Structure 1
Amino acid sequence: MIRTTVSALAYLASSLVAGVVGLSWAVVSALGVSLLAITQLGGPAFLGAAWVTRRLADLERQRARWILGAAIAVPYLSIEGGTVRQRVSRVAVQPATWRDLAWLVALFPLGLAGGIAAIVVTVVDLAAVVAPLWAWAVPNPHAPFPMRPLMTTVPGRFGLTVLGVLLLPVTAWFLRTAGLAQARVARALLAPGAHRHLVDEAARLAQTRRRVVDAQAAELRRIERDLHDGAQARIVAAGMTLALAARKLRIGAAAESDVDLARRQLDDALTELRRLVRGIHPPILTDRGLHAAVAALAGDSPLAVEIRGDPNDRYPAAVESAVYFVIAEGLANAGKHADARTCVVTLSRTTGTVTVTLTDDGQGGADPSGSGLDGLRRRVEALDGQLFITSPPGGPTVLSAELPH
């Protein structure tokens, strides 16, 4: 409480100086750039002025940290490369450039009012607390009531002390409130705005799209490899076996063993195809829903799996597929790498969000950047979701995914 109050007083008092510096720089830079705009120095002058303005705004973001507890995020976009004209254009189109300037101008009246009020209130209250130490030196018999008895008598001076102590919480509240109000105005102007958020969102979506395309290409390569090395090889072998059986039948030789072998090869190929189909989209998801598919995974898992959630809940097909593979990968990792014995799978739905959480009792230490978890992250991000993992050494491991629906 005391530290917060002192920080608020320092912030408001320093705003007096910061406001004068900010307004002076805003006026000087605006006049200088305006005068040089008709010359070849206009572009470099604008870039130089913007650089200094941003440094002053950065100082303001750090000062606001005294009150807000965290520095305000930097809203600027990169302007490296290109000609002077191009760089000037990139700086000028950023709203943050003009919002910085607006704050430097607004800081003067805000800092003047807040700083003077904070200093006066603090000095008056502290002076009242220590009134017995100084009030005797400035007697004023002509002071109006009730200041005359308070200032000129010993009981009155100690009464001022009591009054000052009682007003300390009020003074502290005023300083914190005024400091927070000014810091919030600073955050409104100096924090990243809608333009920066849109640019960041576009960059995130572009990265997600690239990751989805890469994941899809990898999945197609996996399917092609599995078909070539698995089912296709078995079907080709069965065809060759049947051809050999037909040749034997033409010469009257026994071919029963070859037919049996071909049948086994075709059965193996069918099993391989079914496994491949389950890896793409398990039919049980479509037929019986996510809860039944998870129950089937739990039945095949070597772990003791507890499933929590409403078995009647249904979600969009893409969401169910993503959640299914998150659970499948989580159970596989828990049994293979974490030496877990039990796992709790929780499925929950809130407004607009499906959340799946796997908690196992394994040894922990999972690598969030591993290939398996990275593949899950891409699958989840493709649906604009998020994947989280907490796996301290010694466990437990908590794997959670949130997907909009």
Structure 2
Amino acid sequence: MTIWQALRRPRFLLSSWPWRGLAYLASGGVLGMVIAIVLFTIAITGAVLSLFVIGLAVLALLPLCGLVVGPIERWRLRLVDPVPVSSPHRPPSRPGAWAWFTHRYREPSTWREFACTLLLAVLGLADLIGLSIVLTSVGLLIGSPVIIAFSDRSEEVINLGPGWQVNSIGEALPVVPIGVLLAVVFAYLIAAWAGGRANLTRFLLAPRESELGERVVALTRSRARLVDAFQAERRRIERDLHDGAQQRLVALSVELGLARLDAPPGSDVARRVASAHEQAKLALAELRELIRGVHPQVLTDRGLAPAVTEVAGRAVVPVEVHVDVPRRLAPEIEAAAYFVVTEALTNVDRHSKATSATVRGGIHNGLLNVEILDDGVGGADPALGSGLVGLADRIAVVDGALTVVSPIGGPTLLRVEIPVR
């Protein structure tokens, strides 16, 4: 809730919002006074030293003062507006102090922050003067009986304005309700003024749509590079396992098989060699499953349709495959679609109690569509740990969308749409 929303509530005066608005304006006034002194000092120093190069360097620091004030103002905004304002600045493309300075000078957000700094120096002082007058006036009106009671003066004690003097407690008591009424009015006015100041600050400091668009493009490119690097690393690991550890296990299994034939039948050596042979074959089978989970060779060599056909052939439930992808797609797209099918068929085997499943896939209107349908009991829920959240995250990496329709009693339909690049 912002201070503008709080102003419309009946219990506004009983809430913390009037004090938060007062704190926002008062802290802005103090900060504005400090900023005015700093800016004046920098400007005078630069002007005096302008005959030398160092003077120009000092003057060049003036616009960069907003880089210090901007984060402070974003933090102060939280007093009256809980919605955070993100920094519009982007890191420079090259390292070094000169690259940093030139990059900051070219950024429009740097100059908007400098404008916010100048406004704070002017309006902050105005806030401080206005708050001083308001608080002094209300304090005199409400506290006039106390002031007179503790005063030793017998003559005129309080001058509230032209022709309005209060000299006794009897004259001061009727003034107190006026002070209370003014305190209520000023509470609303101060909150409204604080809200207006906050809106102006947010307008100057919040990132523009063009800047947000540039950041989205940069993040998208960065994510694409990470996905490419991740897929390349998976393929490297798959090749190392396939050409290294798997080949050694195959050779070991062959050697143990030959040793098993040469060992005396029924001897302890024959039994131990036979046991080692079986363990080697189990390790080889597990390694092959691991390689398929990292990145199947058939996906790299032949593409999505043959890879889906292979994984469907290993499923416990009979799976009918209709995948028609006439051309090779980007490796990250093929990998995302393949692992979605793999995880979906694993869920079918483990949870669905289905008797059959169907996998369909094809390219339509620039989208790769993959559907997995089973005749199981339905009720698939991501919250139950069925892996659907992980699938959605994997598809989101390639800008795809995942849809699950799984009513109680079935059937369950999992549909994936991925833009084809």
User: Which amino acid is the alignment partner of residue 373 of structure 1?
Assistant: A
Q: Is 1:140 the counterpart of 2:165 in the alignment? A: no
Residue matched to 2:199: 184
Q: Using structure 2 for the length normalisation, give the TM-score.
A: 0.53
Pairing of 1:305-324 with structure 2 (within 5 A): 317=365
Please give the alpha-carbon distance, in whole angstroms, between the structure 2 residues aligned to 1:388 and 1:131: 71
CA offset digits 1:235-271 (Å, max 9, x no partner): xxxxxxxxxxxxxxxxxxxxxxxxxxxxxx9xxxxx8
| Cα pair distance change 1:184/1:109, threshold 3 Å | same
Q: 1, 5, 19: which is aligned to 1:6?
A: 19
Q: Is 1:363 the counterpart of 2:380 in the alignment? A: no
Please give the alpha-carbon distance, in whole angstroms, between the structure 2 residues aligned to 1:35 and 1:152: 54
Residue aligned with 1:130, SS: helix
Pairing of 1:60-71 with structure 2 (within 5 A): 60-71=73-84
CA offset digits 1:294-336 (Å, max 9, x no partner): xxxxxxx9499xxxxxxxxxxx9457x66x76xx5xx99xx8x
Residue matched to 1:196: 211
Question: Is the 8 Å Cα contact of residues 33 and 45 (structure 1) preserved in structure 2?
Answer: yes
1:178 to partner: Cα distance: 1.3
Please give the alpha-carbon distance, in whole angstroms, between the structure 2 residues aligned to 1:108 and 1:176: 20
Residue matched to 1:172: 187
Pairing of 1:2-401 with structure 2 (within 5 A): 2-30=15-43, 53-79=66-92, 81-135=94-148, 137=151, 140=156, 147-148=164-165, 151-152=166-167, 154-194=169-209, 196-207=211-222, 210=225, 221=299, 224-225=302-303, 227-228=305-306, 274-275=322-323, 302=352, 317=365, 342=379, 360=381, 363-364=384-385, 368=389, 370=390, 372-379=391-398, 381=399
| Cα pair distance change 1:364/1:39, threshold 3 Å | farther
1:90 to partner: Cα distance: 0.9
Please give the alpha-carbon distance, in whole angstroms, between the structure 2 residues aligned to 1:161 and 1:303: 80
Residue aligned with 2:180, SS: helix
Please give the alpha-carbon distance, in whole angstroms, between the structure 1 residues aligned to 2:164 and 2:54: 63
Q: Using structure 1 for the length normalisation, give the TM-score.
A: 0.54
CA offset digits 1:326-367 (Å, max 9, x no partner): xx5xx99xx8xxxx9536xxxxxxxxxxxxxxxx38535868
Please give the alpha-carbon distance, in whole angstroms, between the structure 2 residues aligned to 1:97 and 1:11: 23
User: Which amino acid is the alignment partner of residue 224 of structure 1?
Assistant: R
| Cα pair distance change 1:25/1:152, threshold 3 Å | closer
| Cα pair distance change 1:79/1:33, threshold 3 Å | farther
Residue matched to 2:285: none
1:203 to partner: Cα distance: 0.8
User: Which amino acid is the alignment partner of residue 156 of structure 2?
Assistant: N
Please give the alpha-carbon distance, in whole angstroms, between the structure 1 residues aligned to 2:148 and 2:141: 9
1:156 to partner: Cα distance: 4.0
| Cα pair distance change 1:89/1:203, threshold 3 Å | same
Question: Is the 8 Å Cα contact of residues 32 and 124 (structure 2) preserved in structure 1?
Answer: yes
Structure 1 gaps of 5+ residues are 233-264, 266-270, 281-300, 305-315, 344-359, 390-398
Question: Is the 8 Å Cα contact of residues 19 and 107 (structure 1) preserved in structure 2?
Answer: yes
1:161 to partner: Cα distance: 1.8
Question: Is the 8 Å Cα contact of residues 44 and 84 (structure 1) preserved in structure 2?
Answer: no
Residue matched to 1:236: none
User: What is the number of residues matched between the two proteins?
Assistant: 294
1:133 to partner: Cα distance: 0.9
Question: Is the 8 Å Cα contact of residues 18 and 111 (structure 1) preserved in structure 2?
Answer: yes
Residue aligned with 1:86, SS: helix
| Identical aligned residues as a percent | 20
1:109 to partner: Cα distance: 2.2
CA offset digits 1:197-217 (Å, max 9, x no partner): 232122134246557878999
Residue aligned with 1:72, SS: coil
Please give the alpha-carbon distance, in whole angstroms, between the structure 1 residues aligned to 2:160 and 2:60: 58
Structure 2 gaps of 5+ residues are 1-11, 233-294, 314-318, 329-350, 355-363, 405-413
Question: Is the 8 Å Cα contact of residues 299 and 306 (structure 2) preserved in structure 1?
Answer: no
| Cα pair distance change 1:109/1:39, threshold 3 Å | closer
Question: Is the 8 Å Cα contact of residues 47 and 88 (structure 1) preserved in structure 2?
Answer: no
1:124 to partner: Cα distance: 1.9
User: Which amino acid is the alignment partner of residue 147 of structure 1?
Assistant: W
Residue aligned with 1:274, SS: strand
1:19 to partner: Cα distance: 1.6
User: Which amino acid is the alignment partner of residue 164 of structure 1?
Assistant: G
Residue aligned with 2:74, SS: helix
User: Which amino acid is the alignment partner of residue 165 of structure 1?
Assistant: V
Residue aligned with 1:69, SS: coil
User: Which amino acid is the alignment partner of residue 378 of structure 1?
Assistant: V
Question: Is the 8 Å Cα contact of residues 64 and 114 (structure 2) preserved in structure 1?
Answer: no
1:93 to partner: Cα distance: 0.1
Residue matched to 2:359: none
1:49 to partner: Cα distance: 5.8
Please give the alpha-carbon distance, in whole angstroms, between the structure 2 residues aligned to 1:144 and 1:124: 10
Question: Is the 8 Å Cα contact of residues 65 and 114 (structure 2) preserved in structure 1?
Answer: no
